[in-house]
Structures are given as C-alpha cells and as structure tokens.
C-alpha cells in the first residue's frame, strides 16, 4: 500500500564548520527541539541512462530513521515534490514502478547511487508545541554504483515544512539563515548533486546531453518544436497523476494530446504530416480511451445539478436513484481501464514515436522561415476554417443538422484557440487576444454540445424509467430545460462570433 505526502523543502550549502543561528528567535518559533542523530542508508534506482534523473524524479530504498522504506519523489514545482512511499522490501514495489513506467518504458531500474547520511535533526515548534518545520544537518557520503564507483562527500542544511505548514514560513527561516551566511544549495536534490560529483570524467547525465537552449526560438520551426516538446512533457508529467487518480489529471492529459494533434494540423507546412498524421491518430485514440471516465463524470454532474435545482414537487419517482444506477453502469471500471491503457504496449509505442519525432523532427522548408511570417499565416488559415463552419451552422434551421454543424464548428474553434495559444510565444499579445476570442466561441459551442449530449442521456433515462414502471415526467422536464439551454447558446453565438471575427484581431497577428 502506497502513501503520499506533499514535500516542501529548501536546501542550503554547508561545511562541517558551519554554525547555525539561533532559530528560536524566528517569528512563530517558540522552541527548537533536538531530535538526535539518525544514520540513513539510501540506494537510488534509475535506468542505466538515468531517465528518472533527467525528469527530476527520484526512487530510493532507504533504511534508518523514522521513515524507512521505498520513496518515489515526483516534481510539482521548484522545492515542491510529491513523495509516494511504500513499505520496505527487497524488490521495487509495483505500485511505484508503474508510476514511472512512462519514463522507463522497457528499461530496467538498477541501483545507481548509494547515499550514507548522518542526519542531525531539530524540530521547530510553535507556542502550542505543534511542528512548524524540521531542520536537518546532513553529512553526506555518495558512492556511484555504476561507471567506476567514484565517491563524493559534502554537508548540507535542509528545512522541510510540516505536513500542514504554511509555505511562507520557509521564507522567514531562510531570511535568518541567509543573515548567518548560508546560501541556497546549487543542486535541487542530494541525488542530483551525487550524480554530478561522481560522474566519470567526460560523461554527464542524460539531461545534460541535449544541447542547451542558448537562445530563444527564432524560426517558425524552432517555435513549433518548442510547443510540441512542451505538450510531450505535459503528457509524461500527467501520466503518474492519472494513475494516482488526482483531480483533473485525466482532463489535463487529454488537453496535451489535443494540443499536440492540433499543432500537427495547424503547422503542416512546418512539420511533415506524412510523419505526424499516424502519431496524431494514436493521440486521438489515447484521448478517447482516457475520456470515458471524464466525460461520464462531467455528464453525471450536469444532470445531478439539474435535479438538485428542481423543487421537490417536481421530482416524480426515484429520480436520484435512477441517475446513480445509470452513472455506475456507464462508468463502471472506467479508471481501471484508463490505467490499463497507460500500461499497454500501444501507449508505450506512442511515447517512443513522440521521442523519435522530437529527436529528429521532419521539418519542411517553411520551418526555416521567420516566425512572424509563417505562424500568422497558419493561424489565420485555422480561423478561415472556423469561419466557414460558423457560417454554415448559422444558415441552418434549428434541429439535428444544425446541432451537428455546431459540433463541427466547436472542434474548429478549439483548433483555432490552440493555434493562437501555440503562437503566443512568437507573436505575443495579438496571439493571446486571438486565442481568448476563439475560446469564447468554443465555450458557447461547447455548452451547446453539452446540452445535445445531455438530452440524449435524458431520453435514455426516460425510456429506462418508463420500462421500470416509473414516472418519466422529471426526465422530460429536464430534457426541456436542456432544449432551452441549447436555444440560448444558439442565440448568443452570432454576437460572440462578431466579436471574435473583428478584422483587427487578425490584422494584429501580422503586425
């Protein structure tokens, strides 16, 4: 069984001669309690080419101290990590190994570094005796377990916020430490420092093998590739979040797939579609597989809120019970299926394809062109596509054909919005304004489509209720509400579109 906690800490350089200031004078600190010295022995695991280290992820088996066991640390923000732990065992727990599978793929996890730390621990307590933070002084000895077994040693100070602590408290402590002459550590973690200081001469960690970005993207190709890499990174970052069932993780992972697919299409004159189209189809498959649980959850919440807003006198029959049964029947096992998709060979092959694409991108002639010329042309082409679909939808009378046309327009609006977002680093505020207007159009069309989907669900619920001998009145009433909501969105669309279609918004893209 794995446990998770949010780790917020800061590290500082030290030497054996470093003297700590009196932290009992730090605001909110009423006492500094010496908790003694613990001897820690940690072995860190990674692939032979250090894929976890490249992603700032650490996996270790540690004995000694109060939290012996396996620990997987996933980056959240600078100085903030989620630590997922599992009981001590001889083998890497499957629960932790699965969380890094998108990084490791089929590569074996092996011991790469051993850290022996003598940790002098002190607790910073408030007036009520509650823990504010834990400060430790570590004397560390690192041993490389591969590549010749080089060693290194250093001292450091670490301040970790209590589980329910207030992050600004670390600023107060840091101010005191800086006044005493301590400087923030150059390395973000002990492992990062150990790998750097024990690396064989002439060899660096995988993260440093890629040429550093010594200049901002200039050409159209550089901008597009930077955006694609950003989405690929997001895909990998949200993989463990989906496996852990974190809020909004499925949605964010799907967004990354959609943005990448959209960029492939928008910038087809920059990146060769004969290469990207097959990858785009696999991204579409992944988004669809992940969407089963998310779409059902969103729909159920929409119908539930409709029911909750009705007076009790209009709830005829076991309405809430019927909705629960329907929701469970449609969502049963959805999360388990999503995790199975992430463990599938097809998904891992998709990740390999993305790596190959980004390592050796199939750039076309336009990739070498100026971003200010190539990128606006691509964005405006997506706008023209949307404009044609909007015009078609507005020409149709209300009904099924118009619903389908508005759904097609919604997809085009999303693509135009993503095009604007992708163009923002190159074009700045004009692209940001364009994306904002396209998002407004997408929102109206999206709300309309949600009502179409909700009406189909309500029709099926009414049929089920009738077949079970229950009243279908409430379901019909809700169906009527959704019809009215769809009509309202249709009435709003022309005005929202007029604002988005203002010529100046497009003219500003080209300067």
Mark which of 206, 228, 262 sits at the end of a domain.
Answer: 206
Residues 194 and 268 in one domain: no
- Which of the pair, 210 or 337, is modelled with greater confidence? 337
Report yes or no on 224 lying in a domain.
yes
Residues 90 and 194 in one domain: yes
Report yes or no on 211 lying in a domain.
no
Instruction: Measure the CA–CA gap between 411 and 389, rounded to whole angstroms.
Output: 10
Q: In DSSP terms, which residues pair with 32 in a beta bridge?
A: 124
Residues 132 and 227 in one domain: no
Residues 334 and 442 in one domain: no
- How far is CA 500 from its chain centroid? 29
Tens-place pLDDT, residues 220-255 = 999 999 999 999 999 999 999 999 988 889 899 999
pLDDT at 511: 77
Residues 202 and 291 in one domain: no
Report yes or no on 125 lying in a domain.
yes
Q: How far is CA 153 from CA 97, 101, 142, 260, 287, in A?
A: 29, 31, 6, 44, 47
Specify whether the backbone of 248 is left (phi greater than 0), alpha (psi in -120 to 50) or beta. Answer: left
- Number of domains the chain contains: 3
- How far is CA 236 from its chain centroid? 8
Sign of CA dihedral 176, 182, 184, 189: negative
Report yes or no on 82 lying in a domain.
yes
Supply the CATH number for residue 276's domain: 1.40.20.10
pTM: 0.89
Supply the CATH number for residue 122's domain: 2.40.320.10
Residue 207 has pLDDT above 70, yes or no: no
Report yes or no on 212 lying in a domain.
no
Report yes or no on 475 lying in a domain.
yes
Tens-place pLDDT, residues 17-38 = 998 899 999 999 999 999 999 9
Residues 199 and 229 in one domain: no
Residue 210 has pLDDT above 90, yes or no: no
- What does the mean pLDDT of the chain come to? 93
Residue 166 has pLDDT above 90, yes or no: yes
DSSP SS3 for 114: strand
* H-assigned helices in 88-139: 94-97, 101-104
Give the range of the structural domain holding residue 243, as residue numbers without chain letter.
218-312+324-369
Structure tokens at 181: 């002459």
Report yes or no on 421 lying in a domain.
yes
Instruction: Measure the CA–CA gap between 159 and 132, rounded to whole angstroms.
Output: 10
Mark which of 179, 206, 233 sits at the end of a domain.
Answer: 206
Residues 352 and 463 in one domain: no
Contact 314, 471 (CB under 8 A): no
Residues 363 and 377 in one domain: no
Residue whose C-alpha is closest to residue 239's, from 336, 59, 102, 337 = 102
Residue 329 has pLDDT above 70, yes or no: yes
Report yes or no on 319 lying in a domain.
no
Residues 250 and 330 in one domain: yes
Residues 55 and 198 in one domain: yes
Mark which of 336, 353, 369 sits at the end of a domain.
Answer: 369
Q: Which residues does 179 contact at the CB level (< 8 Å), separation at least 6?
A: 21
Tell me the backbone φ, ψ of residue 255, rounded to 5 degrees: -60, -40
81-96: burial string, b at 16+ Cβ within 10 Å, e else: bbebbbeeeeebbebb
Residues 256 and 271 in one domain: yes
Tens-place pLDDT, residues 175-206 = 999 999 999 999 999 999 999 999 987 654 44
pLDDT at 211: 41
Instruction: Measure the CA–CA gap between 343 and 345, rounded to whole angstroms.
Output: 7
Residues 343 and 453 in one domain: no
């Amino acid at each position: 069984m794995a446990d998770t906690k949010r780790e917020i800490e800061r590290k500082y350089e030290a030497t054996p001669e470093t003297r700590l200031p009196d932290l009992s004078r730090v605001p909110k600190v009423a006492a500094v309690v010496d908790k003694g010295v613990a001897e820690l022995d940690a072995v860190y695991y990674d692939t032979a080419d250090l894929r976890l280290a490249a992603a700032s992820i650490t996996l270790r088996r540690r004995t000694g101290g109060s939290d012996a066991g396996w620990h997987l640390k996933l980056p959240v923000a600078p100085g903030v990590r989620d630590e997922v732990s599992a009981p001590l065992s001889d083998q890497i727990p499957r629960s932790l190994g699965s969380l890094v599978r998108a990084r490791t793929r089929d590569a074996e996890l092996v011991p790469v570094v051993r850290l022996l730390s003598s940790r002098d621990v002190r607790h910073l307590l408030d007036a009520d005796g509650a823990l504010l933070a834990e400060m430790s002084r570590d004397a560390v000895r690192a041993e490389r377990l591969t590549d010749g077994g080089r060693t290194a040693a250093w001292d450091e100070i670490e301040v970790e916020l209590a589980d329910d602590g207030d992050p600004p408290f670390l600023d107060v402590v840091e101010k005191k430490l800086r006044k005493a002459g301590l400087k923030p550590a150059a390395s973000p973690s002990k492992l990062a420092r150990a790998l750097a200081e024990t690396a064989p001469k002439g060899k660096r960690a995988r993260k440093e093998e890629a040429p550093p970005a010594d200049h901002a993207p200039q050409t159209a190709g550089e901008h597009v590739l930077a955006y694609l890499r950003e989405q690929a990174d997001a895909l990998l970052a949200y993989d463990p979040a989906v496996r852990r069932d974190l809020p909004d993780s499925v949605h964010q992972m799907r967004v990354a797939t959609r943005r990448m697919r959209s960029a492939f299409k928008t910038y087809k004159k920059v990146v060769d579609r004969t290469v990207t189209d097959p990858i785009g189809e696999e991204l579409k498959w992944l988004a669809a597989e992940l969407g089963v649980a998310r779409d059902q959850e969103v729909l159920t919440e929409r119908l539930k809120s409709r029911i909750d807003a009705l007076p009790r006198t209009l709830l005829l029959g076991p309405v809430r019970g019927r909705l629960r049964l329907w929701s469970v029947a449609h969502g049963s096992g959805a999360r388990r299926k999503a995790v199975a998709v992430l463990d599938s060979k097809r998904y891992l092959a998709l990740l390999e394809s993305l790596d190959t694409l980004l390592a050796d991108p199939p750039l076309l002639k336009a990739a070498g062109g100026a971003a200010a010329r190539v990128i606006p042309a691509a964005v405006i082409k997506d706008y023209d596509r949307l404009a044609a679909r909007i015009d078609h939808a507005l020409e149709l009378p209300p009904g099924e054909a118009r619903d389908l046309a508005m759904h097609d327009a919604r997809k085009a609006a999303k693509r135009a919005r993503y095009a604007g977002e992708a163009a923002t680093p190159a074009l700045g505020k004009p692209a940001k304004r364009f994306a904002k207007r396209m998002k407004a159009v997408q929102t109206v069309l999206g709300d309309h489509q949600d009502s179409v989907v909700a009406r189909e669900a309500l029709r099926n619920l009414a049929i089920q209720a009738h077949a079970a001998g229950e009243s279908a009145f409430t379901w019909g009433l809700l169906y009527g509400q959704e019809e009215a909501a769809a009509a309202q969105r249709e009435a709003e669309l022309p005005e929202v579109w007029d604002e988005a279609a203002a010529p100046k918004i497009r003219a500003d893209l080209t300067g």
